[in-house]
Structure formats: C-alpha cells, structure tokens
Amino acid sequence: MVELRPLGVSRAFTDGRNLYTENLTPGRDVYGERLVTLRGIEYRQWDPRRSKLAALLLKGWKILPLQRSSQVLYLGAASGTTVSHVSDIVLEGTVYAVEVSRRVFQKLLDLAEARHNVLPILADASKPDAYAGTVGRVDLVYQDIAQRDQVEILERNLRFLNPDGTVILIVKSRSIDVAREPAAVYRTVESALRKKGLHVLGTVPLDPFQRDHAAVIAEFSHS
Ligand SMILES: C[S@@+](CC[C@H](N)C(=O)[O-])C[C@H]1O[C@@H](n2cnc3c(N)ncnc32)[C@H](O)[C@@H]1O
C-alpha cells in the first residue's frame, strides 16, 4: 500500500482499490481481514465480499451519514463483520447491534467486549418494543436481515430514527421473490418504502461483490 486517502467518511480510507477503516482495537482482526500499519496507525481492510456496506461504498455511493459521534441502529448484526467497521468509524458514537440468532450472538458479544461503542441486543427486529428502552434516537438505521417482510420490519424501527436521519436497507432479491428479476424486486421495495413515507435517495445494486443484492438508501419525506 502506497498512500491512503480519506473517503469522506470519518476514519474510512481508500488506497484507490481497497477500503480500510482505522482499527479501534489495534492488533486484533475480526474476521481474518488484513491489518496494515501506516505511519504508526493500524487499519483493517474492509472486504466488499464480506460486507455489503463496503460494497456500497465501492460501487460509488459516497454519502454515508456516519461521523465519529453517530448513533446507529444495526438490524441483522450476525457475528459483527460489518458492525466492526461501523464501530471503527463511529468512535464516540454507538452501534446498537440487534441479532435474533443465538448461534451467532456469542461472537457479537465477544466483539462488543473489546469495543466500547457496540451494544449487542439479542432480539427479533420485528418486535422493537423489546429494545425500545435501550435504543435511543439514531442517525442511521441499517438493516440487513434477508427476510421477506423486511419493509414492515424496517417500518416498525423507524420510530428510532431522527427526523433528518438515513435508512440503508439491504435487499436480497431472492429472499423476496426467487422468480423475479432483481431490478423488478428493487422497484417493488422502493415503492413500498414510499408508501411508508420515505423518500428514496437511491438504489445501488451490489453486484459483483454481492450477487442479487442492492442497497436502498432513504430518508423521511419532508414534502
Ligand atoms: C445476511 S446476515 C447479516 C450480515 C451482517 N449484516 C454483516 O454484514 O456482517 C442476516 C442476519 O440477520 C439476522 N436476522 C434475520 N431476521 C432477523 C430479525 N427478525 N431480527 C434480527 N435479526 C434477524 C439473521 O440471523 C442473520 O444473522
């Protein structure tokens, strides 16, 4: 690696080809990613084949609403691959990481032990009352749960979003309809979000990093 340039997102960088975040826990990797030290600072390579958020950035979406102090509600945290990079970025913020599967939750707990800004929540995102007492107002709702009723689940979680906050919904077209063209599935999701009072800022297909997946970025409609 020759040089790193800021991405326009706090603590996230590129060398022109790969993405990196500044490691909050120097010396420790999370999922076998490469660690690189440059001028005394350690970075973790952010793999777009393991993290759809990295794929979104590499596909050219540059307006990521994440700052050092951002509050994030992350639905479908799994073992924390992407959560770990968000945690690197929002150094002084919080990542409320919701996951329903006990099988992967232990890994998320281990991750949170080393990262002060990750708050793991074992819960079903379709029943947000269970964590309403824990989660505060957030700047970003990021949802990656690969479920058929994902728009309804997202809608139930909009109560946590600041009026000027952002939604990133990861859509796996096969989870919604295996038979339809992914582009048609994405249009259906966009239209469902509009009906819920959201303004769609863009839909970015994540191929070739994540086949038949797209990120739909939205905010509250103020019109
Ligand atoms: C594709 S994986 C998420 C990968 C993760 N976002 C990442 O990039 O590291 C989807 C996860 O959503 C979880 N999930 C599915 N339905 C859920 C629900 N209703 N509430 C919370 N988590 C859910 C699954 O258990 C699974 O771990």
Q: What is the pLDDT along the chain (223 residues), one digit of tens a residue?
A: 568 888 877 899 999 899 999 999 999 999 999 999 999 999 999 999 999 999 999 999 987 889 999 999 999 999 999 999 999 999 999 999 999 999 999 999 999 999 999 999 999 999 999 999 999 999 999 999 988 899 999 999 999 999 999 999 999 988 787 888 989 999 999 999 999 999 999 999 999 999 999 999 999 997 6
CATH 3.30.200.20 domain locations along the chain = 5-46
44/121 Cα distance (integer angstroms): 25
Compute, in angstroms, the gap from residue 99 CA to the centroid of ligand 1: 6
51 close to ligand 1 (CB < 6 Angstrom): yes
CATH 3.40.50.150 domain locations along the chain = 52-220
Contacts of 13 (CB under 8 A, 6+ apart): 4, 5, 6, 7, 19, 20, 21, 22, 43
User: What pTM did the predictor assign?
Assistant: 0.96
Contacts of 114 (CB under 8 A, 6+ apart): 25, 28
Q: Distances in Å between the alpha carbon of 104 and those of 48, 74, 80, 142, 201?
A: 20, 15, 9, 18, 32
Q: Give the homologous superfamily in CATH for domain 5-46.
A: Phosphorylase Kinase; domain 1 (3.30.200.20)
65/202 Cα distance (integer angstroms): 14
CB atoms within 10 A of CB 118: 25
Architecture of domain 52-220: 3-Layer(aba) Sandwich (3.40)
Kind and range of the H or E element at 49? none
Identify which of 49, 129, 144 to mutate to test ligand 1's pocket (most ligand atoms within 8 A of the CB).
Answer: 144
